[in-house]
Amino acid sequence: MQFNLADLWECVVDNVPDREAIVCGPRRLTFQQAEERSNRLAHALAARGIGKDDRVGLYLYNGSEYVEGSLAAHKIRAVPINVNYRYVEEELRYLFKDAGLKALVFHREFAPKIAAVKDEFPGLGVFLHVEDGSSADVSAMGSTEYEAALAAASPARDFAERSADDLYMLYTGGTTGMPKGVMWRQEDLFMAALGGGNIGGPPLEKPEEIGPKSCSRPQFIMIPAAPLMHGSAQWAAFIALYSGDKIVIPTGKKFDPDLIWRLVGEEKVNQFALVGDAMARPLAEQLANNPGKYDTSTLFVVGSGGAVFSAAVKKQFLDQLPHAMIFDGFGGSEVGHQGTGTGEGGAPRFRVDDRTGVFDPETLEPLEPGSGKVGRLGKCGHIPLGYWNDPEKTAKTFFTISGKRWVLPGDMASIEDDGTITLFGRESVCINSGGEKIFTEEVEAALRSHDKVFDAIVVGVPDERWGQRVAAVVQARAGDAPTLDELVAHCRTKIAGYKVPRQLHLVTELVRQPSGKPDFKWAKAVASGETPPAR
């Protein structure tokens, strides 16, 4: 047995076969039932010619099929590829070509988009569709219905030996440009992003330890609230499953705070995995606006990955859930988990280990603790191999520094006297106004702390005098319409004057990626008076 994602899963199954593992709508699967369904899918794919290193696209809304598809691909040493279900045809063309997909598991409603591009990719010849109540035509691609494919395949676990070097790949949309495929060895991914089999403690020394460990404590129940096609939700779900815990997957195509709170009570959920304010604030307000409606007595952990909570939203949650722990987990597609949030106000600070460093942006010399300088945040140790099909981007992100290989994906930070990291934001969306660098996350947090602001995205727009100026795209609370002067006055109490917004655009609803991250292309179009891209 190796630190291979399929091997590790099978070891957990053998130790807790009868525990419930996945709840999604009416479907309830024990670990053994999920194993058998994943084995059947693996055999169905293998019978259609899919094997080692072949790419299997998962073009799905949330469901048990997403977990089964990931496990099935790993079992036959294929590579599952996350496909954003909001992509338009041009984005699908890019992803299908870049990944080199050979198989696609998809919800039936996506068939027209697939049919529009599939003929451009003769290597993509295997299609399995999940019924969703739509009547989309799947005949043109010769697709097999998912449950029928499983029923016709063997449930046996009779696969060839696997390796810790088998590939895991995650396409990340990031903040700018087309998505990039981040390539990980499975052992590195398990250690860096999935807790190494021992969240909060030292990683496992031997893969065989994971099974007994999964039996050694009571089962926790967790909701991965973001779409499973997003890395933070995938990782949260598999951290739970590799710990012998249960995941409750919300159904539906949109984030539904009422559904999530009902699931907390019905399933006795212990923890959430969210993505920043975009999910936390609607949940906090749903709870505040419906006192006594939901049973939250079992919920004791609310965590964020992929985006940090603002201080205002943390307070909202704590006001409603005084018994719960609210924390930020900082990381990303290129680093896995990197730190845990500390403190309530100001720029986010994180506790990190000795595999994290901050480097001068020009020289890549390490910055000393307490220097006050802002540099590029990096990580060494268990890190990715690089970007698929993009040696130029790999060379700009992965470096050998003092004999160690580091990844510096673009986050800017400073290192404090006590070794904690203060995070400022992504270099790629940093606004340069008159030579001053302004990190959008800090301005957004200041805006969201105003009573009339429900949500905000901040972008830089061209300015003849300063190069760029700060523009705020704001979704106000129902019945409110804050003015620019109001927001400027408020922000000046939170951040330096040069950082405050110079223009304001009120919208009825902000557009975000399904993960909850800002859609900067959309926001820049709104702020520039252009027609926003279709979504």
The CA distance from 228 to 58, in Å, is: 10
Apex CA 24: angle with CA 514 and CA 265, to 5°?
95
């909001």: which residue's tokens? 86
Whole-structure pTM value: 0.85
Partners of residue 224 on adjacent β-strands: 273
* CA diameter of the chain: 68
Place of tokens 């050998």: 400
Angstrom distances, CA of residue 40 to CA of 35, 63, 79, 155, 249? 9, 17, 17, 5, 21
Per-residue pLDDT, 345: 46
Point out the residues of the chain with pLDDT beneath 50.
Answer: 345-346
Nearest-angstrom CA–CA distance, 238 and 6: 11
Pairing of strands 126-130, 144-145: parallel
- Please provide residue 446's backbone torsions phi and psi, each rounded to the nearest 5 degrees: -65, -40
> Which pLDDT does position 275 carry in this prediction?
80
DSSP symbols for 310-336: PHHHHHHHHHH-TTSEEEEEEEETTTE
Which is the CATH superfamily of the domain at 221-377+384-425? ANL, N-terminal domain (3.40.50.12780)
Which of 167, 203, 211 is CA-nearest to residue 35?
211
Nearest to 109 by CA among 87, 126, 80, 132: 132
SS (H, E, C) 100-126: CEEEEEEEHHHHHHHHHHHHHCCCCCE
Where in the chain are the domains? 5-206, 221-377+384-425, 433-527
C-alpha 53/C-alpha 530 separation (Å) is 42
For the domain 5-206, what is the CATH code? Answer: 3.40.50.980
pLDDT tens digits along 38-51: 999 999 999 999 99
| 338 vs 453: CA distance, rounded Å | 30
Amino acid 516: pLDDT: 67
User: Which CATH number is 433-527 given?
Assistant: 3.30.300.30
Q: Which residues pair with 103 in a beta bridge?
A: 56, 126
Integer angstrom CA distances of residue 459 from 347, 520, 526:
18, 7, 10
Identity of the amino acid at 296: T
Pairing mode, if any, of strands 411-415 and 375-380? antiparallel
Q: What is the pLDDT of residue 174?
A: 52
Report strand pairing: 20-24 vs 436-438.
unpaired
Q: Model confidence over 138-171: pLDDT tens digits? A: 988 999 999 999 999 999 999 999 999 999 999 9
Is there a common fold for 221-377+384-425 and 433-527?
no
